[in-house]
Amino acid sequence: MIGLAHFLAVAAIVFALGLYGVLTKRTIVGMLMGIELMLNAVNLNLVAFSRFITPEILTGQVFAIFTITVAAAEVAVGLALFFRVYRDRNTVHVARLNTMRW
Amino acid sequence: MNLALLSSEIAIVVLAVLLICFDLFMPHRETRRSLGIVAACGVLAVLVHSFTQYGTVGTVYGDYFVVDHLALFFKQVFLTATLLTILFSFGYVEKFTQNKGEFYALLLFALLGMMIMASAHDLLTVFIGLEIMAVVFYVLVGFDLENIKSSEAGIKYLILGSASSAVLLYGISWIYGFTGSLLFKEVAANMAATPAILMGLGLIVAGFCFKLSIVPFHMWAPDVYEGAPTPITALLAMGSKAAAFAVLLRVFLVAFAGLKLYWAPVLSVLAALSMIVGIVVAIWQSGIKRMLAYSSVAQAGYILSGLLAANAAGVKGMLFYIVLYMVATVGAFAVVVAVEEHSGSDAIAAFSGLAQKSPLLALVMTISLISMAGIPPLAGFAGKLYLFIAIAAQGYLWLVVIGFVMSMISVYYYILVVKAMYTHPVQDDRVLTVNGPLKLVAMVSLLATLFIGIYPEPLAELANAAARALW
With beta carbons under 8 A apart, name residues in chain A contacting B223: 100-101
Q: For B274-325, write each residue's pLDDT tens digit.
A: 999 999 999 989 899 999 999 999 999 999 999 999 999 999 999 999 999 9
- Helix (H, G, I), strand (E, B), or coil: what is residue B345? coil
> Residue A101: pLDDT above 70?
no
With pLDDT > 90 as the criterion, what percentage of chain B qualifies? 78
Q: Of B156, B174, B290, which is closest to A102 when you measure between CB atoms?
A: B290
Q: Is the CB of residue B347 less than 8 Å away from at least one CB of chain A?
A: no
Record: contact B163-A39, CB cut-off 8 A: no
Q: What is the arithmetic mean of pLDDT over B245-262?
A: 94
H or E segment and range at residue B67: strand B65-67
Read off the pLDDT band of B410 (50, 70, 90): very high
With pLDDT > 70 as the criterion, what percentage of chain A qualifies? 98
Q: How far is CA B453 from CA B328, B387, B408, B435, in A?
A: 11, 15, 18, 27
> Degrees (nearest 5) of the Cα angle B130, B459, B314?
65
Q: Residue B88 is which amino acid?
A: F
Q: What is the arithmetic mean of pLDDT over B220-245?
A: 94
Q: How far is CA B199 from CA A10, B203, B451, in A?
A: 17, 6, 45
What is the phi/psi pair of residue B395, to 5°? 90, 15
CA–centroid distance for A87 within its chain: 25
Determine the pLDDT at residue B12. 97
- Helix (H, G, I), strand (E, B), or coil: what is residue B283? coil
Residue of B nearest to A74 (CA): B135
Domain membership of residue A102 (yes or no) is no
Residue of B59, B20, B55, B39 lying closest to B111 (CA atoms) = B39
Q: What is the mean pLDDT of chain B?
A: 92
Contact call for residues B442 and B360 (beta carbons, < 8 A): yes
Number of domains observed in the structure of chain A = 1
Q: Is the CB of residue B226 less than 8 Å away from at least one CB of chain A?
A: yes
Dihedral sign from CA coordinates of B266, B176, A74, B19:
negative
Residue of B nearest to A81 (CA): B155
B58-60 and B65-67: which strand pairing? antiparallel
Record: contact B131-A74, CB cut-off 8 A: yes
Q: E strands within B125-283?
A: none
Record: contact B176-A85, CB cut-off 8 A: no
> Degrees (nearest 5) of the Cα angle B30, B31, B34?
105
Contact call for residues A60 and A44 (beta carbons, < 8 A): no
With beta carbons under 8 A apart, name residues in chain B contacting A77: 135, 138-139, 158
Record: contact B166-A62, CB cut-off 8 A: no
Residue of A nearest to B177 (CA): A49
Which candidate in B151, B187, B197, B199 is best for mutational testing of the A interface (most A CBs within 10 A)? B151
Which ipTM did the prediction report?
A: 0.95
| Residue burial B432-455, b: 16+ Cβ < 10 Å; e: rest | bebeebbbebbebbbebbbebbee
Residue of B108, B44, B109, B107 lying closest to B80 (CA atoms) = B44
Read off the pLDDT band of B246 (50, 70, 90): very high
Domain membership of residue A30 (yes or no) is yes
> Residue B199: pLDDT above 80?
yes
Read off the pLDDT band of B434 (50, 70, 90): confident
> Residue B239: pLDDT above 80?
yes
Q: Of A49, A54, A99, which is closest to B149 when you measure between CB atoms?
A: A99
Determine the pLDDT at residue B337. 94
Record: contact A78-B128, CB cut-off 8 A: no
Domain membership of residue A37 (yes or no) is yes
Q: Of A35, A66, A89, which is closest to B162 when you measure between CB atoms?
A: A35
Record: contact B152-A63, CB cut-off 8 A: no
Q: What is the arithmetic mean of pLDDT over A12-27?
A: 94
Q: Considering all CA atoms of chain A, what is the largest pairwise distance in Å, rounded to the nearest integer?
A: 55
Q: Considering all CA atoms of chain B, what is the largest pairwise distance in Å, rounded to the nearest integer?
A: 68
Residue of B nearest to A25 (CA): B159
Q: For B86-98, write each residue's pLDDT tens digit.
A: 999 998 888 887 7
Cα B32 to Cα B200: distance, rounded to the nearest angstrom: 46
Cα B224 to Cα B233: distance, rounded to the nearest angstrom: 8
Cα B208 to Cα B202: distance, rounded to the nearest angstrom: 10
Q: What is the arithmetic mean of pLDDT over B182-206?
A: 93
Q: Is the peptide bond before A55 cis (omega within 30 degrees of 0)?
A: no
Domain membership of residue A28 (yes or no) is yes
**C-alpha atoms less than 13 angstroms from C-alpha of B432 in its C-beta half-sphere:** 28
Q: For A35-73, write each residue's pLDDT tens digit.
A: 999 999 999 999 999 999 988 889 999 999 999 999 999
Domain membership of residue A20 (yes or no) is yes
With beta carbons under 8 A apart, name residues in chain A contacting B128: 66, 70
Read off the pLDDT band of A1 (50, 70, 90): confident
Q: How far is CA B273 from CA A53, B214, B217, B247, B293, in A?
A: 39, 8, 11, 22, 15
Record: contact A78-B174, CB cut-off 8 A: no
Residue of A nearest to B224 (CA): A100
Q: Is the CB of residue A60 less than 8 Å away from at least one CB of chain B?
A: yes
Q: Is the CB of residue A39 less than 8 Å away from at least one CB of chain B?
A: yes
Q: Is the CB of residue B176 less than 8 Å away from at least one CB of chain A?
A: yes
Domain region containing A63:
4-96
Q: How far is CA B340 from CA A13, A48, B363, B434, in A?
A: 48, 52, 17, 11
Residue of A nearest to B162 (CA): A35
Residue of A nearest to B123 (CA): A63
Domain membership of residue A35 (yes or no) is yes
Cα B108 to Cα B113: distance, rounded to the nearest angstrom: 9
Record: contact B154-A81, CB cut-off 8 A: yes
Q: Of A22, A34, A45, which is closest to B173 when you measure between CB atoms?
A: A45
With beta carbons under 8 A apart, name residues in chain B contacting A72: none
With beta carbons under 8 A apart, name residues in chain A contacting B177: 8, 45, 48-49, 53, 60
Record: contact B151-A31, CB cut-off 8 A: no
Cα A100 to Cα A19: distance, rounded to the nearest angstrom: 24
Domain ranges of chain B: 1-153+210-246, 256-471
Read off the pLDDT band of B401 (50, 70, 90): very high
Q: Of B135, B156, B285, which is closest to A73 when you measure between CB atoms?
A: B135
CATH number of A78's domain: 1.10.287.3510
Q: Is the CB of residue B186 less than 8 Å away from at least one CB of chain A?
A: no
Q: Residue A46 is which amino acid?
A: L
Q: For B127-172, write each residue's pLDDT tens digit.
A: 999 999 999 999 999 998 888 899 999 999 999 999 999 999 999 9
Q: Is the CB of residue B94 less than 8 Å away from at least one CB of chain A?
A: no
Q: What is the DSSP string of B316-355?
A: HHHHHHHHHHHHHHHHHHHHHHHHHHHHS--BGGGGTTHH
With beta carbons under 8 A apart, name residues in chain A contacting B139: 77, 80
> Residue B464: pLDDT above 80?
yes
H or E segment and range at residue B210: helix B195-211
CA distance B172 to chain A (A): 9
Q: Is the CB of residue B297 less than 8 Å away from at least one CB of chain A?
A: no
Q: What is the arithmetic mean of pLDDT over A8-32?
A: 94
CA distance A2 to chain B (A): 17
What is the phi/psi pair of residue A10, to 5°? -60, -45
